[in-house]
Amino acid sequence: MVKKRGRSGAEPPYREQEGCMFNRSEQLEILNKIKIKDNETKRINCPFCGGKYTFTLSKRDGGLVWNCYKASCSTRGGTRVDRSLSSIKDKLSKASVKEIRKQLPLPAMTSDPRKHPEVMHYLETVHVSAAFLRGDVEVRYDPKEHRVLFYMNNGTGCVGRSLYPNAKPKWKAFGDTSGIFTCGSGSTGVVVEDAASACAISVLSDTTGVALLGTNISPLQKVQLRSFKRLIISLDKDASKKAIMLLRKLNGFVPTTIKFLQEDAKWLEPVELEGLFDESTRNCHY
């Protein structure tokens, strides 16, 4: 078989041969020498086949993606990379702005729950009254919408639970509700369904009740959850898919486990919670 030779009569170098002779680790070693900023795309000569301006390299959202458009070069790939501090701050800022745009104003007129027997009855029923009377959570009553308000973010936001049996929506957010709702000051965070359950769970020693107030977890919430030594995702079995999704997203940040409940924590007596979340449960993780 006669090999094709170049104009000089010499056999062409490897870069003119079909495919790419660099494995993934070798490609990354070469690409790491190319300076590229967050949210930047570069179009350059391919460092692997020599093609002129056929190679693109992009760095966005914590990922590095590369590709050569020359037909005879098979170089392409992607990998996760560490984000710069400025990139993380920019991401969180954009997430916060997105959430703030959807804000409803805080209720203009609210009242002390202790002046309303129906409100206090609700707080006692969902086992929030102890945390409220201890001052661990700020709770107010909105007479206009007949809602019990659970405040967060230093009083700049709140979530309101309607006391009407068939109200829609049952829960409603006002003001800045970005981030997580917490009650308690323990090193173990127990992620529960709503603000009332977070208050109820705070009766446990060294435990903070945490409510995400939504189906998805935001970048800001991930950062806040890293302050805990461990996390326990504690939802009822009907929310098992959500619990598993949260476990996958959080376990790389904080040691996390799942504890399924038969019903929301707010409906359980303190002695029942103590039995479900004994010391061994709060210390286990995977």
Residue-wise pLDDT for 219-254, tens only, equals 889 889 989 999 999 988 788 888 898 898 887 788
Lowest mean pLDDT among 101-105, 131-135, 150-154, 166-170: 101-105
For 50-106, how does the pLDDT look when each residue is reduced to its tens digit (9 = 90+)?
Answer: 888 889 998 887 788 898 888 888 888 888 877 666 665 565 555 544 444 468 999
Query: Count of CB atoms within 10 A of residue 205's CB?
Result: 12
Q: Give the C-alpha separation, 28 to 78, whole Å.
A: 9
Q: Give the C-alpha separation, 274 to 189, whole Å.
A: 15
The better pLDDT of the pair 24, 221 is held by: 221
pTM summary value: 0.64
For 165-215, how does the pLDDT look when each residue is reduced to its tens digit (9 = 90+)?
Answer: 999 999 999 999 999 999 999 999 999 999 999 999 999 999 999 999 987
**3 state SS of 123:** helix
pLDDT at 38 over 60: yes
For 41-58, how does the pLDDT look when each residue is reduced to its tens digit (9 = 90+)?
Answer: 889 998 888 888 889 998
What confidence score (pLDDT) does residue 175 get?
94
Joined together, the tokens standing for residue 282 give: 């709060």
| DSSP string computed for 26-69 | HHHHHHTTS---TTEEEEE--TTT--TT-EEEEEETTEEEEEE-
pLDDT at 279 over 80: no
